[in-house]
Amino acid sequence: MNASSTSPERDPVKVLVTGGTSGLGLAMASALAAAGARVALTGRSGTRAQAVAAELPGALGIELDVRDEASVAGAVDQAWSRLGGIDMLVNNAGIGMRTVNPRFMTEPQGFWEVPPDGFRAVIDTNLTGYFLVAREVTPRMLAAGGGRIVNISVSDTTLRRAGFVPYGPSRAGSESLSRIMAADLQNTGVNVNLLLPGGATVTGMLPLDSVPEGVTFLEPSIMGPPIVWLASDAATGVHDERIVAAGFETWLRERNVEGSPP
């Protein structure tokens, strides 16, 4: 599978990126589109998704609320039909701590202070959303003979940091979900991997006006090289890996994986 088609006999890879209108999702959708992939990116606002997609070569914008089963089914069906299949799903749509505590970086709150509705909203989006989209895409990939799923995650410290309920538990759950998905899909031709930036990243999830002094951030573009590589022929057979974007080149060298960072 190539990220771009250099031969007239080979079609561009077709990728569905959830939560692709900003942050990490937009960075990955942009990198994939620039590499020649056909990308369908989603957002809760169909109008915004279409506007963002219009800025990327060959991209499509589709409305999708990952918390809603009917919305997921409709969006996946639309993406599959318009792209002519889905070779890769990038499960990325999520919401962060700002939804329950806008000043979580400087004024963390105990888990007992988190409103139940806020807890449910984050879990429904970041964990149940991954499940619902993968559940809809996977049978299609199996019937087509293969595919790739990349679940976006976060650093280990986020999973146990004080004041990070419910975001930490939601991402811990998505990590477990990803590993079980990989086990369930072993030897089926559908490969599942985790990808994370490797540190705090400049996205809309961070309150940049209330960040402690000395804290530095990665740029979303750090996700570009590994996601493009994961869509390429070099990643054929790569399965059940946890890839840290900030250490991607080292990861390739240590595993003697064929190919080099795009």
Give the model confidence (pLDDT) of 5-49 as tens digits.
Answer: 434 456 899 999 999 999 999 999 999 999 999 999 999 999 999
pLDDT band at 150 (very low <50, low <70, confident <90, very high): very high
Q: Domains in the chain, start-ordered, CATH in brackets?
A: 14-255 (3.40.50.720)
- Answer yes or no: 167 catalytic: yes
User: Model pTM?
Assistant: 0.88
pLDDT of residue 203: 58
pLDDT of residue 158: 74
Looking at the predicted structure, is the pLDDT value of residue 59 above 50? yes
Distance CA 2, CA 117 (A): 43
User: Rounded to 5 degrees, what angle do the CA atoms 77, 92, 259 make?
Assistant: 100
pLDDT of residue 130: 98
Distance CA 30, CA 55 (A): 9
What type of residue is 162?
A
Distance CA 229, CA 31 (A): 10
b/e 79-113 (16+ beta carbons within 10 angstroms → b): bbeebeebbbbbbbbbbbbebbbeebbeeebeeee
Catalytic residue, chosen from 104, 167, 248, 251, is 167
Looking at the predicted structure, is the pLDDT value of residue 82 above 50? yes
Closest CA to 217 of 226, 227, 209, 206: 206
pLDDT band at 71 (very low <50, low <70, confident <90, very high): very high
pLDDT of residue 9: 52
| More confident position, 108 or 199 | 108
Average pLDDT of the residues in 88-97: 91
